């Protein structure tokens, strides 16, 4: 039982919440939804979870020695020895095999997006994460790929304004990840952190927060003209959420 728990921990299931972005086109799409739309998107969600978990395994495998020297990361399954290297590779193979089998039912564009995500993040794990700016761009692209995967699976086009909202939010999350790492652990845990400074990251984060509010307001004013005032009423709620998030963070 402990071994199973360790393998599940290796997959980092808590990060699967990011994959819910795949359902965004379904939620904000302007068409009647069918059971097939939901079924295909759910399968896409499952496949993306499997592929994302495989990347986490590769990343942990590559950083196993470095993680053992870290006060927190040394508790990760591979670094702590709770999961052996052989078990990690077997798990990785199973995840990718199941993901490939399910993906055969997807449109070609969806398969391309999933493959692109895997290759891009493989490159990130193998060294691209050490290049400033590019590391944040790759983190951001992961969110955008999820959005467009949901679009290709459901057949619902992503509106330009929704795209801009998600893009701004994705850049904010990517930059805030680096900002929080510097604030909490300094610049010694990642080599790329030595090439950033807190003031720079904070200013860029603020810029994208403003863009989120602006683009979301524009989206609310255009998505359903007949219910424009109702949608615009959610803008102050978004502002309060952002203010609260900044206060807590």
Residue with tokens 């949608």: 231
User: Is 237's pLDDT higher than 60?
Assistant: yes
Q: What's the CA gap between 116 and 144, in Å, rounded?
A: 12
Q: What pLDDT score does 212 carry?
A: 95
What are 25-62's pLDDT values in tens digits?
888 765 666 777 788 999 999 999 999 999 999 988 88
The mean predicted confidence, pLDDT, of the chain is 88
> Taking residues 3-15, what's their average pLDDT?
89
Count of CB atoms situated within 10 Å of the CB of 116:
14
Q: What pLDDT score does 31 carry?
A: 61
Burial category of 147 from C-beta neighbours within 10 Å (exposed 0-12, middle 13-18, buried 19 and up): buried
Q: What's the CA gap between 212 and 217, in Å, rounded?
A: 8
Nearest to 99 by CA among 11, 30, 195: 11
Q: What pLDDT score does 33 carry?
A: 67
Q: What's the CA gap between 70 and 65, in Å, rounded?
A: 9
């Amino acid at each position: 039982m402990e071994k199973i728990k360790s393998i599940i921990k290796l997959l980092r299931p808590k990060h699967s919440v990011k994959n819910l972005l795949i359902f965004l086109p379904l939620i904000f799409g302007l068409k009647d939804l069918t059971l097939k739309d939901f079924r295909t998107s759910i399968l896409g969600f499952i496949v993306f979870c499997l592929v994302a978990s495989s990347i986490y395994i590769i990343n942990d495998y590559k950083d196993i020695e470095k993680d053992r020297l870290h006060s927190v990361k040394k508790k990760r399954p591979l670094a702590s020895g709770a999961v052996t290297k052989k078990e990690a590779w077997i798990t990785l193979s199973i995840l990718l095999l199941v993901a490939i089998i399910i993906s055969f039912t997807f449109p070609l564009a969806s398969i391309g997006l999933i493959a692109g995500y895997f290759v891009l993040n493989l490159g990130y794990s193998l060294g691209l994460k050490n290049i400033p700016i590019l590391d944040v761009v790759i983190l951001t692209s992961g969110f955008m790929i999820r959005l467009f995967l949901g679009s290709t699976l459901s057949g619902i086009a992503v509106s330009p304004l929704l795209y801009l909202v998600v893009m701004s939010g994705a850049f904010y999350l990517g930059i805030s990840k680096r900002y929080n790492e510097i604030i909490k652990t300094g610049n010694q845990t990642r080599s790329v952190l030595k090439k950033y400074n807190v003031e720079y990251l904070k200013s860029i984060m603020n810029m994208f927060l403003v863009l989120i509010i602006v683009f979301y307001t524009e989206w609310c004013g255009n998505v359903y003209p007949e219910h424009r005032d109702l949608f615009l009423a959610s803008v102050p709620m978004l502002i309060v959420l952002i203010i609260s998030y900044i206060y807590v963070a």
